[in-house]
Structures are given as C-alpha cells and as structure tokens.
Structure 1
Amino acid sequence: MSSEIDWSKLGFDYIKTDKRFLAVWRDGAWQPGTLTEDNVLHISEGSTALHYGQQCFEGLKAYRCKDGSVNLFRPDQNAARMARSCDRTLMPSVPTDMFIDACQQVVRANDRFIPPYGTGGALYLRPFVIGVGDNIGVRTAPEFIFSVFCIPVGPYFKGGMKPHNFLVSGYDRAAPNGTGAAKVGGNYAASLMPGLEAKKRGFADAIYLDPISHTKIEEVGSANLFAITEDGKFVTPKSNSVLPGITRLSLMQLAKERLGLDVIEGDVFIDKLDAYKEAGACGTAAVITPIGGIEHNGKLHVFHSETEVGPVTKKLYNELIGIQTGTIEGPAGWIVKV
C-alpha cells in the first residue's frame, strides 16, 4: 500500500493502515492491550458513546527525521489532556505510560506509512476512549475501549503557508460551564453547521465568540487563536470553554523563550482587532493557519495581509516545524523517539 502512495498528494483523509492498538476496561481496570489488523469496532448497540456522547479523543503526529529516526511531539501532553477529558465525562483515564507506549507501538507497526522527511507529511495518530457495553440508562458505561489508529497525512498547506479569511459565527461552540475545555465529539458536532455555512460563503471556517457576552473570540473552527499586538505581544484567549491545545501551549513557550515576546492569556475582543498586526489559528493538523482577515457583522478586518504571512507568524511556524522534524533542538522533554 505505502509503495502506491503519492506522498506529494496526501491530504487529511482516512487511509487504512496495517495495525492499531486496542485495550478494554472492565472489572475496574484496563486489560492488556494488543495490536490488531481489524479496523472495525464491534460494540453493543446500547453503548453510551452512541447514545449519550460518552467519548473523547486526541490527535498527535509522528515525524520522520532527516536521519531516518521518528519523533513523537509532546505525547505526554496529549495523555494529560485525554485524562482530563476522561475525568470530565466519567470515564477511566488512560495512564500516561500506557498512552505513550500504545502510540509508539502503532507508529512502529505502521512505519512504512510514515511520509519521508522533506515531503511535509507526517503520521497522524488518533487515540480515543469510548463508553461501550450493554446499557440504556443515562449513566456511565459498564466497559470502555481505548484505541489508537494512524493515517499518513500531507502538509496542510499546499504550496506553502497562505493566509485564510474566517467568518464570525452567531452559533456557540460550547456552553460557558460545559465541555468546551474537553476534547469530546459533541463540541465538534456543534461546529459542523456553522463551519459549513462559513465555507459556503467562501471562508476557511467559522470563528466562535464567548457564549455569555458574544464579545470575545474563543476559538477558530477546531483550532486555537493567537494574535500579535502592534507592540509585539503574543496574545491567546483564556476561557473555561477553550480547548487547551498542545500547539497553542508550545507556541506560548516558544514565543516567550525563543522570540522574546511577552505572552498574555487574556481577552481578544472582536471589536478591538485593530490592536493586532498578525493573527493565526493553531492546532495539530495545521500547526499554524495564518489569518488574513476576520469578517464580523458584514465588515472584513484584515491583519498583516490577505496574501502574505506576517513575519512573527512565519518565525513561530519555522521554529515549531523545525523542532518537530528534528532540525532544531527543542525544549527538554518535547520530543519522544519511537
């Protein structure tokens, strides 16, 4: 299969790979997991994941380095976030060691699917936990499945990074004290309609404001927002409804330690965008999507440019990609070799 893959044409689409990891929780403990070729889950029709949304997931990447080795980027942070999501949805958390070991097993078993160094691609890993077993009442499941599968994905930006425009949505992504900070499917189900509406109007995706006052930016599609002020500060929204992204966390540290910027977690008011000279969306899939402009109430606010990437955004992108692919030394503990 891998010999048939045109690495230059990889997108972000499902491709069946050789092996995936699967473990079951029952009788109060996780059972020993195993690698399997079966990419179909066999679960009860009464599974809480199907009826009540008791599930969560993660996303991280493995990168082929110039010397042929393979890097996992900050898997401990994904393990910690999944544990928080499990706690929020009354599911047993997956121990960090088990999480990282499962990811490493999956990467090794699917080595031939890792895009070569220099292609811009990576092996995307999707760990998830779901509530399963015979049940029909609104309560936590009697059993759970933890699984990790992977797919080869291409560079998010064909032809390099380019700014995209976004549309402010009138819909809310998550409730004020709801599950916005957990990586659960319901948040994404809520975003499907506004995301489609934005794309039909020619925008890359929707932007969501805070659900209480609708005055502050919270998230950009399924990614976090960052903005660079006119006086050179790195600002990213702080809210109980915002997903604490691993890329966002990493950019905050790099902005401070590598670029010497003041980093602020605070409010980004939709009516005060003139304070920012650059803006971007950040996440595992895209790393950084430069934001050209944001349309709100019929008016498009343009940041640095609709066609050119801002200098600070470009520096952050190059630094992060360099660390992930092994050409730049990263902070201690960021890279786990497979």
Structure 2
Amino acid sequence: MSYAAPTGFAYRPTPWRFQAEWDGSWSEGRLLSDPRLSIEEGATCLHYGQQCFEGLKAYAAPDGTPLLFRPEENARRMARSAERLLLPPPPEELFFAGVRACVRANRDHLPAHGSGASLYVRPVLLGVGDNLGLRPAPRAVFRVFCSPVGPYFADGLRGIRLLVSDEDRVAPRGLGAYKAGGNYAGGLLLAKRAKEQGYDEVLYLDAIEHRYLDEAGSANVYGVAGGTLLTPRSPSILPSITLASLLVLAEEELGLRVERRRVAIDEVADFEEMGCTGTAAVITPVASVRHGEQEWRLPHAPGPRTEELYRLLVGTQTGALPDPRGWRMPVS
C-alpha cells in the first residue's frame, strides 16, 4: 500500500529502523522500533566527528513495488568515506540488507507512484565506545532509518536563487570528497544567512582562488551552454551518484557534450540553463546566481534540456520508463 505524498523535505518517523554493531566483526543486524540511540558520552562520533552517512531514496513503481536507485554506488561511497575516517566499512551485503529491511518494514509509508514524493533512506555509520583521547573508536554502529519526503526545494520547479558565499565550506585535499557529517555543519550558518537575504541556497567557490565553482550547500551544480553540459571538477566536491547518472543521460540520450572541468564563476553569464542535482534536490533548476554586486539571471528555469533530463532521470527512478542500464533495484 502507498499513501499520499508528504510536502517538504523533513523528518517524519517511521515504525522501524535497522541496526548492526561492529566490535571486531559485524553483527547480522536487526530491526528496531526505538528511534533513539544510546551511546557512550565519550563516543568519537560526538567529540571528533568520526562518522559518515549516505542518502538514497525508494520510489514506488507503478505497481507499488519499492525501487532503489543505484544503491551499490551508495554502499561503495560509504565504504570509501569509512576508510578515510578509520571506521569499519559495512560490507556491501550488510549495507543492502539494512536498506532493504528498512524499506520493506516501512513499506506502508512509501508515497504513491507519481506523487513526486519518495521514501528517503539514511544509512549512518557512527564511531562509538568508551573513549577520551583522539584515537579511532573501539566500536561502531551502522543504522538505517527512513522518512517519507516531498521536494527539497518548495519552489524548485520554478527555479531557485543561489548566493555565492565569500567563506569556504571545506579545504582543498581535505574531507570535501567524503560524506562526513562535519562537512555540513560548517555550512549551516552560511545557508541561514543566504535565506535571510531571500536566497534559497548558498553556492561555494574553490577555497584557493575563490574563482571556480565547487558546489551548492546541498547539491552539485551544472550548466548548459550551447550543446555542452558543464559541471565543476574539484577535489573538494562530493562524488554525486545523481550527477554521474545525469551526465550519462545527457551524453547518451540528449546528445550533449559533457565536460567535467574547472568552471569559473564568470562563465555563469554564458549559461542558458543551470541546475542543482543530488539525491535530495533531484534536478532543481536555478533561476539566478548572485556574486557580490553581480547577479546573473538564467534565460530558462527550467530550460528544455533540464526538463528532459528530469523526465529521464525520474522516469528511470520510478519505473515509469525502461531501465536499459540496470540502475533500479526492486525491494520485494
């Protein structure tokens, strides 16, 4: 059974979550009804930010079957983040078991096909155990919970406004390419300031020259100019599964030339279309970008290429279109 679509991107508790523990080896994991976690006051996830997480969505197919989108890429990205943070990576089979069990147990909370909503799935890996000094956690917890969500940006289909930050989110050769929780806390104040000025999201430039695009606070970015889709290449950007999929669709389905390179902020003036993309944002058109005294207004928000990419991506995710690349994983 699928229920009506929620509005907005917010936490809505569901009855069940999955949890496994590591204490030299991983447990099989189990479903829990309690949404609370009990951990030691000296846990490294609390003091030293030794934790990472993932985000993916389950979509209702036309027949109501929950569909996951490229979850193997989330498992690999979490393993990569865990290794960087000296956490024990959950084996891929445990990652899949946790995600499937959580989605299956909360299937009654899966929004209906065609509603524009989904069941957001959040796997999180925490360093726990008694500790005080700066050293890796002696134990770890892998938990997966889910929440029905609507669109991340309420007015996203009409185009959002971005404000370029004059502060940095992460350092070059730092943790920007990993989905570590601490990467996001530093952006909360900057996003708050942007919204107080009437903007929807903050846009970051590279931390060395403050000249090249990095990413938005909650998503990667791209621009379309002529027959080319451009997206920034930077060691500080989180590798996005949604963006990687979008680039394949742009090249193979739309016949666009795809370029991943350093993109100067001034090039926004040449963009015919611009978008933010990620698990939460999906594909959200950008209407304008403000940088200091300069404001660029995009000619199309959304533009025809962005609209078609959205149709192809969401159609693949929700089962409305064929899946020739094998990106969907049904949860039976």
Shorter-chain TM-score tier: over 0.9
Do residues 140 (structure 1) and 157 (structure 2) align? no
Do residues 60 (structure 1) and 56 (structure 2) align? yes
Aligned residue for 1:240, secondary structure, equals coil
Aligned to 2:238: 243
Partners in 1 of 2:320 and 2:5 — Cα distance? Answer: 21
| Aligned pair partner of 1:314 in 281, 298, 307 | 307
Aligned residue for 1:76, secondary structure, equals helix
| Aligned pair partner of 2:98 in 96, 102, 113 | 102
Q: Is the 8 A contact 2:6 2:149 kept in 1?
A: no
Partners in 2 of 1:174 and 1:208 — Cα distance? Answer: 10
How far did 1:160 drift? Answer: 6.9
Partners in 2 of 1:156 and 1:51 — Cα distance? Answer: 29
Q: Is the 8 A contact 2:123 2:145 kept in 1?
A: yes
Partners in 1 of 2:155 and 2:82 — Cα distance? Answer: 38
Partners in 2 of 1:160 and 1:245 — Cα distance? Answer: 19
Do residues 270 (structure 1) and 275 (structure 2) align? no
Give the unaligned 5+ runs of structure 1. Answer: none
Partners in 2 of 1:157 and 1:187 — Cα distance? Answer: 21
Partners in 2 of 1:333 and 1:86 — Cα distance? Answer: 26
Per-residue Cα deviation, 1:198-235 (whole angstroms, up to 9, x for no partner): 00000011100000110001001110011111x21111
Aligned to 1:257: 252
Do residues 121 (structure 1) and 114 (structure 2) align? no
How far did 1:275 drift? Answer: 2.7
Q: Write out aligned runs for 1:40-51 (5 A).
A: 40-51=36-47
Q: Which amino acid aligns with 1:280?
A: G
Q: Is the 8 A contact 1:10 1:152 kept in 2?
A: no
Q: Which amino acid aligns with 2:238?
A: L
Aligned to 1:18: 15
Partners in 2 of 1:122 and 1:312 — Cα distance? Answer: 24
Aligned residue for 1:282, secondary structure, equals strand
Q: Which amino acid aligns with 1:182?
A: Y
How far did 1:135 drift? Answer: 0.2
Q: Which amino acid aligns with 2:316?
A: I
Aligned to 2:323: 330
Do residues 299 (structure 1) and 294 (structure 2) align? yes
Per-residue Cα deviation, 1:122-161 (whole angstroms, up to 9, x for no partner): 1000001010000011010000000100001123455771
Runs of 4+ in 1 over 3 A off after TM superposition: 155-160
Per-residue Cα deviation, 1:246-292 (whole angstroms, up to 9, x for no partner): 11111011111111111111011012222321110001112011111
Aligned residue for 1:312, secondary structure, equals helix
Give the unaligned 5+ runs of structure 2. Answer: none
Do residues 210 (structure 1) and 206 (structure 2) align? yes
Aligned residue for 1:29, secondary structure, equals coil
- The alignment's TM-score, normalised by the length of structure 2, stands at 0.96
